[in-house]
Structure 1
Amino acid sequence: MKVLSLNAHSWCESDQIAKIRDTARLIVDEGVDVVAVQEANQLQGGIPWRSERYGGPSALPVGADNYVQVLAEMCAHLGAEYRCYWAEAHQGFGKYDEGVGLLARADSVTETHPLVLADYPYTDVRRRVALAARIRGWGWVISGHFSWWEVEGQRLFEGEWGAIERFVREHPGERVCVAGDLNNPATVVGEGYSLIRERGWWDTRDLARRAEGHDTIAGKISGWEKARGGARIDYVLINQRVWVSEHRVVFTGEESPVVSDHYGVLAHVGEAEGE
């Protein structure tokens, strides 16, 4: 199974439609099976429209400009059929319904669950959600956008990750892949990345027979205004050790165009170690 994770920074990018086209082209050309999207936005109060490719489970009316819908339609234009799923998290940038989304090959998803990671008023950026989809023949893939380790003395990330682990306990023995923006650099010891590794999660970059690229942001971006350089904050993680043939950072401007203020992460994972 090929999994792509991308914080799309959607509708905050210049030349957004061209960047959606470039994103769809990589998805189709690489034969990606599941796409986990963060900052999948739609304009609040925009034109409602529900594509036949949209599978829910948002409580809000889905808009014609909903990023995952537009991306699924672009993939269809390029000849590949994907179903799209979206869950709203909070008001973003003062005017968007910001959420997380998934694209998956048609008929591969058997059920979806939105997960509230941190419950705050909708206008509070601390309200965080994830979206889980059961992929036929593999297990669960979760798209998640998490908070920083600590904000104003409050450890936000630890509680949010606890919600992921509750989901895993509710599905004993099943494979669970978390793909997304964790907002916790891999190089910082004693914070979010250390926590997930201590709790037994596997990083597909470490498992991969071939790993290309490291940083997933180049420097200062929204939310990381004090960054002094690049950082690795986007991941594909799995609760069980599996065979990973490849882990690659994409949309860097080298092999594939830049489409966001984040790079993407593409991982090719098997069903079990050695497969």
Structure 2
Amino acid sequence: MKLMTLNTHSLVEPDYASKTRKFAQVIQKELPDIVALQEVNQSQSASVLPDVMLPGYVRCIGFDRQIRSDNYAMILAEILRGMDCYYYWTWISAKTGYGKYDEGMALLTRKPIERIRQHLISRTDDYENWKTRKMLGVQVQGCPDWFFTVHMGWWNDEEEPFRGQWDSMEEFFRSYRKKDSTIWLMGDFNSPDNVKGQGYELVCNSGWQDSWKAAETKDEGFTVEKEIDGWRDSDTGKAEQKTDRMRLDYIFSSEKRKILTSEVICNGKKYPVVSDHCGVMITTGQKMPDKQN
């Protein structure tokens, strides 16, 4: 089974249309079973598209915002279809981003989506507050595992600290932990693994497996190699501990699983740069099952 995650930076990214096509080419070549995306935007001023005009789209129950004509996930899925590469997809937004976008997250799946869940992880549920955070998860046909995409806040944020969001997630996941299934948690955690006593250690100490650490074959793992939005001192009002090169993007599993490879992608070495983050792709020792047990 192959899993991929990327903070896309989406419509904010310079030359995003060209970079979206390049990312679609990566997906077409690698054919991941699940693609988890963060910072997936659409312009609030763009025209609305009815769901019936969106091949492969599955709406999350309880999410009522309409897909608009420049939605990044929709365009990515559309480009892939033009390459004869078909993915199902779902999307939610959590907040207004940069004053003009519906900003959220998406999941693309090779198998049909059977179940979708969203969950508010921040204290605030104010759509106009940029610190509002949600996560999105799916279960696909024939597989008992759950796959979630998440974009978390910072450890030192006084209003929306990482610990509070993680506690909310852990409470939510209690009902999803099953003996014969795994929760895969993918995304931008805004928490470097080289800073002691903060978010990364909290996740690992909560019993989650870092796929990069567990991988039999892996690279250096760095997913950010320059200063980015959210990591300037002015973004949080308080400087975070950081280095020039950081691991901020992870794929965690609720159970220990065999991980064959973990690779950073879209870093200019393995595939072109398409965002201010690099992506992560792992190959596990299990196959996507044909049917549930």
TM-score, length-scaled by structure 2? 0.88
Please, which of 139, 147, 150 is the counterpart of residue 144 of structure 1? 150
**In 1, distance between residues paired with 2:260 and 2:18?**
30
1:41 equivalent in structure 2: 41
Runs (5+) with no aligned partner, structure 1: none
1:154 CA drift (Å): 4.3
1:125 CA drift (Å): 1.4
* Letter of the structure 2 residue corresponding to residue 24 of structure 1: A
1:255 CA drift (Å): 2.2
**In 2, distance between residues paired with 1:206 and 1:138?**
24
* Letter of the structure 2 residue corresponding to residue 184 of structure 1: S
1:185 equivalent in structure 2: 192
* Letter of the structure 1 residue corresponding to residue 27 of structure 2: I
* Letter of the structure 1 residue corresponding to residue 191 of structure 2: N
1:170 match: secondary structure: coil
**In 2, distance between residues paired with 1:216 and 1:172?**
29
CA 1:257–1:167 in structure 2 vs 1: closer, same or farther (change >3 Å)? same
Cα shift readout 1:137-182 (whole Å, capped 9, x = no counterpart): 240000000000121x346211211222123211232310000000
1:206 match: secondary structure: helix
Alignment pair present for 1:31 and 2:31: yes
Does the CA-based 8 Å contact 1:185-1:233 persist in structure 2? Answer: yes
1:4 CA drift (Å): 0.7
Identity rate of aligned residues, in percent?
31
1:54 equivalent in structure 2: 57
Cα shift readout 1:203-243 (whole Å, capped 9, x = no counterpart): 00011111123211112111112555111100000010011
**In 2, distance between residues paired with 1:35 and 1:163?**
24
Q: Give the number of equivalent residue pairs.
A: 270
* Runs of 4+ off more than 3 Å: none
**In 2, distance between residues paired with 1:124 and 1:178?**
24
Runs (5+) with no aligned partner, structure 2: 234-241, 288-293
CA 1:125–1:220 in structure 2 vs 1: closer, same or farther (change >3 Å)? same
**In 2, distance between residues paired with 1:123 and 1:209?**
43
TM-score, length-scaled by structure 1? 0.94
1:35 CA drift (Å): 0.5
Please, which of 211, 222, 234 is the counterpart of residue 249 of structure 2? 234
1:123 match: secondary structure: coil
**In 2, distance between residues paired with 1:22 and 1:114?**
29
Does the CA-based 8 Å contact 1:81-1:106 persist in structure 2? Answer: no
1:192 CA drift (Å): 0.2
**In 2, distance between residues paired with 1:180 and 1:188?**
18
Does the CA-based 8 Å contact 1:39-1:98 persist in structure 2? Answer: yes
CA 1:228–1:211 in structure 2 vs 1: closer, same or farther (change >3 Å)? closer
Does the CA-based 8 Å contact 1:146-1:157 persist in structure 2? Answer: yes
**Which protein has the bigger strand share?**
1
Cα RMSD over matched residues?
1.5
**In 2, distance between residues paired with 1:131 and 1:145?**
10
